């Protein structure tokens, strides 16, 4: 029998957190035991009162403070307070299969991997959220990342959320607290470089709640692109095509638009590039809608644009800030999920 410590960073989750904790405590874990460590990022919407009540009602629930409010510091605070031999990360905006925890543990034992998780599958509630979720599963939005393939099983470079043996953190350290985003990628990079293995299993099932507005989606991917530059810089990584393509596309648009007044060749090249992108967006939108929800087809082109232009502009701004100006822009630390009304009580 082992103790599994479930760590959850959260802030201003009054509408969701009680339902989340209740679902975790109902997980089927066999002969094993669980504890839930919630790291509260100084919530001001009543979340902390709910957490304190849950901790008072169930000895398996514990609450720690996260004064810096970002995910990396919240994860580290929760991990340091955990007592289990297994550390398993969960998220307040994700739904989990009843055997999620048990499947994580079985996959750790079966594969001998150092980090395991399931595919990153999005689910939407509401029209825009459903459209964002449909695009999220498309290779056109995320560049064919294996983590978005619900059927893939095998070794990967990174995995959604994660489950580790405790000694991993003793070996390679904790999450990088400089990073507001991409702390998972950076941690997994260190893990692989130290000789560790990461495994994705379709048996580990969960459903991520996508953003509910185009504004939140754009800001989320603006930060993803921005902080990816810092990870590449810190570890002197060669950037992949998937990371460079959005920024390269935006740069090409700007350069060709500026050069169009100098001759017809740049103007023709600009028209060709824009036409190719529009065709790609249209085709990807039809495919995504056909696979998920035909009703969201009209808005899918805007959703794909938010993914691409958000990430690309963030990457370009990150290059300017980290490589030239040596600073961090204030927008890069802002929260990107609009607070839900606390009147939406857990069911």
pLDDT of residue 67 exceeding 80, the answer is yes
Q: How many CA atoms lie within 13 A of 49 on its CB side?
A: 6
For residue range 271-300, list pLDDT tens digits in order: 999 999 999 999 999 999 999 999 999 999
Residue 192: Cβ-neighbour burial (10 angstroms; 0-12, 13-18, 19+): middle
Q: What stretch of H or E contains 347?
A: none
Q: Going by C-beta distance under 8 Å and a sequence separation of 6 or more, which residues neighbour residue 272?
A: none
All structural domains of the chain with their residue ranges: 3-211, 215-333
pLDDT of residue 170 exceeding 50, the answer is yes
What's residue 347's pLDDT?
A: 31
Q: How many CA atoms lie within 13 A of 216 on its CB side?
A: 14
Phi-psi region of 96 (alpha: psi -120 to 50; beta: other; left: phi over 0): beta
Average pLDDT, the chain: 93
Which DSSP string corresponds to 3-29?
A: EEEEEEEESS-TTTHHHHHHHHHT---
Give the least confident one: 42-56, 122-136, 143-157, 186-200. 143-157
Fold of 3-211: Spore Coat Polysaccharide Biosynthesis Protein SpsA; Chain A (3.90.550)
The two tokens of residue 270 are: 């600009």
Closest CA to 235 of 292, 202, 290, 192: 192
The two tokens of residue 5 are: 């410590």
pTM value > 0.95: no
For residue range 84-95, list pLDDT tens digits in order: 999 999 999 899
Residue 96: Cβ-neighbour burial (10 angstroms; 0-12, 13-18, 19+): buried
The one-character DSSP state at 340 is: P
């Amino acid at each position: 029998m082992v103790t599994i410590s479930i760590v959850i960073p959260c802030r201003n989750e009054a509408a969701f957190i009680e339902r989340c904790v209740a679902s975790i405590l109902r997980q089927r874990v066999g002969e094993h035991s669980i504890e839930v460590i919630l790291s509260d990022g100084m919530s001001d919407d009543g979340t902390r009162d709910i957490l304190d009540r849950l901790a008072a009602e169930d000895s398996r629930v514990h609450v720690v403070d996260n004064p810096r409010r970002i995910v990396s510091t919240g994860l580290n605070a929760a991990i340091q307070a955990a007592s289990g031999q297994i550390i398993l990360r969960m998220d307040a905006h994700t739904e989990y299969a009843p055997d999620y925890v048990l499947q994580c543990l079985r996959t750790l034992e079966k594969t001998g991997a150092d980090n395991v998780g399931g595919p990153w599958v999005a689910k939407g509630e509401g029209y825009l959220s459903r459209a964002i979720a449909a695009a999220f599963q498309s290779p056109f939005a995320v560049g064919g990342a294996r983590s978005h393939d619900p059927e893939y099983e095998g070794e990967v470079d990174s995995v959604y959320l994660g489950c580790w043996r405790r000694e991993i953190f003793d070996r390679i350290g904790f999450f990088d607290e400089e990073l507001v985003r991409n702390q998972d990628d950076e941690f997994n990079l260190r893990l692989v470089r130290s000789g560790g293995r990461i495994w994705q299993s379709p048996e580990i099932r969960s459903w991520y709640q996508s953003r509910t507005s185009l504004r939140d989606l754009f800001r989320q991917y603006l930060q993803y692109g921005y902080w990816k530059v810092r990870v590449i810089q810190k570890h002197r990584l060669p950037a992949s095509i998937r990371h460079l393509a959005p920024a390269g596309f935006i740069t090409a648009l700007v350069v060709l638009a500026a050069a169009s007044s100098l001759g017809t060749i740049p103007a023709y090249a600009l028209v060709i590039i824009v036409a190719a992108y529009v065709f790609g967006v249209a085709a990807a939108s039809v495919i995504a809608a056909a696979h998920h929800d035909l009703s969201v087809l009209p808005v899918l082109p805007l959703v794909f644009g938010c993914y691409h232009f958000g990430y690309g502009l963030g990457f370009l701004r990150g290059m300017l800030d980290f490589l030239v100006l040596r600073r961090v822009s204030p927008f890069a630390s802002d929260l990107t999920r609009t607070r839900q009304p606390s009147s939406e009580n857990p069911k």
